[in-house]
A and B are shown apart, each in its own frame.
Chain A
Amino acid sequence: MDLQGQIIQYLATGLTLGSIYAMVGLGFTIIYNATGIINLAQGEFVMFGGLIMVFFTTTLGLPLFLSFFITLALTTGIGMLYERLFIHHPSKTAPLMTLLIITVAVSIFFRGIAMFIWGKEPYSLPHFSSPEPIIIGGAAILPQVFWILGLSLLAVILMNIFFNRTITGKAMSACAVNRVAASLVGIDVSKMVLLSFALSATLGALAGASITPIALMEYDRGPMLALKGFCAAVLGGLGFGTGAVVAGFLLGLIESFTTGFISSAFKEATALIILILVLFIKPSGIFGSAEVGKIKKI
């Protein structure tokens, strides 16, 4: 394999990993903006996305396309239920620190539920299209990789349109800037918070359903993904959606190229050291402006 082939291969791997981190990171950002909460149960949305999809495709035998949308809908429902049951009420009185820990408790609880429904074994899904790799410049790339990339890019573009072009999206952005002011101009903040959890869950489900064919899924995959996604969100400037997405891709690429050209033992360390350096040199994240980057008091 020549150098060009290698680079294309690492690029493909990095982008695949990156798109997962990006979607989880974006999910973090959406909830953080609406509520100031760092939702550590974000990885569980991904897990539910994968496993619910397995249930409909493999167990019930529904067509892939149909079960994909059912999965998105159901996970979104889980996200909304989560907000109404565990966040809505305490968010009025509890300190943000308690809310953060509530999200941890929810993630433990979700894992418990998933363990009961699906057990501890990993599950796989059929590829969305052919499982045969396509050879590009000497590198072998699975069609599923294009699905993952395509779906995540689509999601990011839709989110961007939503936040910048629609009234509801703009209302949500307003909540992020100043909740009190937003409610004063007649925005239903409570509804916006609910919506943020719904969107975030949808993104998680999208990521989960699309990676399961290549990465499998089991009940306790969530925390790891949450950690990576959180790093992406911070690196991109917490609270800045596009930043989180770019940072997510960057993180994936760093991991993949470090593995290829330095050592796989240090792939995570390299990513983290970059994170820390960025924090100390440019605290608002790579893409965050000083204004957006001002971290809310947890």
Chain B
Amino acid sequence: MGKNNYLKLLVMAAIIAVVPLIVSGDYHLSILVFMGINCMVVVGLSLLMGYAGQISLGHAAFFGIGAYSTGILTTQFGLSIYAAFLCGILFSSLVAVIIGIPALRLQGHYLAIATLGIGEIIYIIFNEMVGLTGGPSGLSNIPAFHVGGYPFSHSIQYYYLVWGALLVILWFSLNLIHSRVGRALKAMHGSEVAAGAMGINLSAYKIQIFVLSAIYASIAGSIYAHFVSFIAPNNFAFMNSIMFLMMGVVGGLHNIWGAVMGASLMTFLPEYLRVFKEFDILIYGAILLAILLFMPEGFLEGIPMLYRKYFKRGEA
């Protein structure tokens, strides 16, 4: 992990620490909590897509597995929150391995389609296993997160939890990218054949990254469940998977920081558009299209590029 990234992480930590001094109120902090949760999922997707070159069309399912694992285990089996968190992680890794091994051995984008199918199946399971999941009516009264018997009663605590966890995830991911695994993935992105010839075990690396991204999504899902205290299958359907993808693409998939930016912007935008009442779906779509059309490489690369294009024509 380069010096540059350490600096960025430090800057980010500083921002995280300072933001609550400026932003107050449950509502605004809640937006930030949702933002952090989305960031976690999208960072995993960015690793998978930007670095391992694979697409998942079913990440909302892993998000859901995390949420339902903690939700079910804490409300119905009286498990402690930490144990439930771990179970969620184990469970989603297991599912990821089961889909990943056959799908990633194949050439091309079978993972995309396999994740789509599995995602939908998991969604149906959430809907149909009424005894455990509460079915479409959802699962309510999920206890608040707590540390040593002190329950989190205010969004500020969740804010620090989520963004703290995100920092750890980012630190881990950046290290990974700059490690042997990351270099292997980069080689693979360039040419799978060449990388294979160099003796890189492609499918093993791909599966590792896929599982890791599923774990990130699961952690995010668990936090989501405790924060909202209510979950229903709707939040984990196909369109939600697409929304996560969209966040990544809007920010720029080839860079983890792009994922953070994209997820933040896309969580924040709908809230900002509340003032437009029902026009928001139209304006939201239009803004999204504008970003995609003018910044096809994402927000993070796009803005400096547009800036150079229009203001510094001579230098560029």
In the bound complex, do residue A296 and residue B108 qualify as a contact, i.e. CB atoms below 8 Å apart? Answer: yes
Contact between chains at A94 and B296 (CB < 8 Å): yes
Q: Which residues of B contact A155 (CB under 8 A)?
A: none
Least Cβ–Cβ distance between B133 and chain A, in angstroms: 13
Please report the C-alpha to C-alpha distance between residue A297 and residue B107 in the assembled complex, in whole angstroms. Answer: 9
Binds A, one of B10-18, B84-92, B286-294: B286-294
Verify A268–B289 contact, CB threshold 8 A.
no
Distance between A47 CB and nearest chain B CB, rounded to angstroms:
14
Interface flags, B107-147, vs A, CB<8A=1, else 0: 11110111011101100110010000000000000000000
Given A97-B253, A280-B102, A104 and B246 touching (CB < 8 A)? yes
Q: Which residues of A contact B125 (CB under 8 A)?
A: 269
Q: How far is the CB of B254 from chain A (nearest CB, A)?
A: 9
Name the residue of chain B whose CB is nearest to the CB of A296. Answer: B108
A279 touches B288 (CB 8 A): no
Instruction: Please name all residues of chain A whose beta carbon is closer than 8 Å to the beta carbon of B112 when the two chains form the complex.
Output: 298
Encoded as 1 (CB less than 8 Å from any A CB) or 0, chain B from 23 to 53 comes to 0000000000000000000000000010000
A297 to B288, CA, bound (A): 24
Cβ contact within 8 Å between A97 and B49: yes
Partner of B113, one of A89, A223, A234: A234
Closest partner residue, chain B, to A263 (CB atom)? B128
Give the interface residue-count category, chain B: 35 or more
Contact yes or no, A223 B239, CB < 8 A: yes
Shortest C-beta distance, B242 to chain A (Å), equals 5
By the criterion CB–CB under 8 Å, are A297 and B296 in contact?
A: no
Q: Is A86 within 8 A of B293, CB to CB?
A: yes
| In the bound complex, CA of A101 to CA of B295 (Å) | 12
A113 and B282 in contact (CB under 8 A), knowing A97-B249, A101-B246, A102-B292?
Answer: yes
Q: How far is the CA of A283 from the CA of B296 in the complex (A)?
A: 31
In the complex, B205 has a CB within 8 A of chain A: no
Q: A279-B113, A295-B110, A298-B55 are in contact. Are A104 and B118 (CB under 8 A)?
A: no
- Are B284 and A108 neighbours in the complex by a CB distance under 8 Å? yes
Decide if A297 touches B109 in the complex (CB within 8 Å): yes
CA distance A294 to B282 in the complex (A): 37
* Complex partner residue of A105 from B49, B124, B285, CB under 8 angstroms: B285
**For residue B252, which residue of chain A has the nearest CB?**
A98
Docked-complex contact B246 and A273, CB < 8 angstroms: no
Is B106's CB within 8 Å of the partner chain A? yes
Candidate in A86, A105, A109, A296 with the most chain B CB atoms within 10 angstroms: A105
**Is there a chain A Cβ closer than 8 Å to B238's Cβ?**
yes
B281 at the binding interface (Cβ < 8 Å): yes
Residues of chain A contacted by B55 (CB below 8 angstroms): 97, 298
B315 an interface residue at 8 Å Cβ cutoff? no
Interface residues of A in 241-298 (CB under 8 A from B): 265-266, 268-269, 272-273, 275-276, 279-280, 283, 294-298
Does B245 touch A at the CB level, under 8 Å?
yes
- Return B306 CB to nearest CB of chain A, in Å: 13
> Known contacts being A105-B285, A108-B281, A115-B278, is A268 close to B246, with CB within 8 Å?
no
Task: Provide the residues of chain B in CB contact with A295, threshold 8 Å.
Answer: 107-110
How far is it, in angstroms, between the C-alpha of A13 and the C-alpha of B214 when the chains are bound?
38
- Cβ distance A112 to chain B, nearest Cβ, rounded Å: 4
A151 within 8 A of B: no
For residue A116, CB closer than 8 A to chain B, the reply is yes
Q: What per-residue 1/0 map shows which CB atoms of B265-287 lie under 8 Å from chain A?
A: 00000000000001101101110
Find the residue from A106, A273, A280 having the highest chain B CB count within 10 A. Answer: A280
Contact A279 B110 (CB under 8 A): yes
With A276-B114, A298-B109, A298-B112 already in contact, the answer to whether A105 and B288 are too (CB < 8 A) is yes
A90 at the interface (CB under 8 A from B): yes
Tell me if A98 and B281 are in contact (CB < 8 A): no
Q: In whole Å, how far is A235's beta carbon from the nearest beta carbon of chain B?
A: 9
How would residues 73 to 112 of chain A score, 1 for a CB under 8 Å from any chain B CB and 0 otherwise?
Answer: 0000000000000100110011101101110111011111
CB distance from B64 to the nearest CB of A (A): 15
**Known contacts A86-B293, A265-B128, A297-B109; is-contact A112 B285 (Cβ 8 Å):** yes
Q: Which residues of A contact B281 (CB under 8 A)?
A: 108, 111-112, 115
Contact: A102 with B242, CB < 8 Å? Answer: no
| A279, B113: Cα distance in complex, Å | 8
Q: Kindly identify, within residues 51 to 91 of chain A, every residue whose CB is under 8 Å from any CB belonging to chain B.
A: 86, 89-90
> Which residues of the partner chain B approach A266 to less than 8 Å between Cβ atoms?
124, 128
A227: interface (CB < 8 Å): yes
Which residues does chain A contribute within 8 Å of B292, judged by CB atoms? 90, 94, 98, 101-102, 105
Are B110 and A108 touching (Cβ within 8 A)? Answer: no
List the B residue with the shortest CB-CB distance to A219: B281
Which residues of A are at the interface with B, using a C-beta cutoff of 8 A?
Answer: 40, 86, 89-90, 93-95, 97-98, 100-102, 104-106, 108-113, 115-116, 223, 227, 230-231, 234, 265-266, 268-269, 272-273, 275-276, 279-280, 283, 294-298
Q: What are 12 residue pairs bridging A and B, where the CB atoms are less than 8 Å apart in the complex?
A: A90-B292, A95-B297, A97-B49, A98-B298, A102-B292, A105-B288, A106-B289, A113-B282, A227-B238, A266-B124, A272-B117, A279-B114
User: Nearest 6 CB-CB pairs, A to B?
Assistant: A109-B285, A94-B296, A112-B282, A295-B108, A108-B285, A112-B281
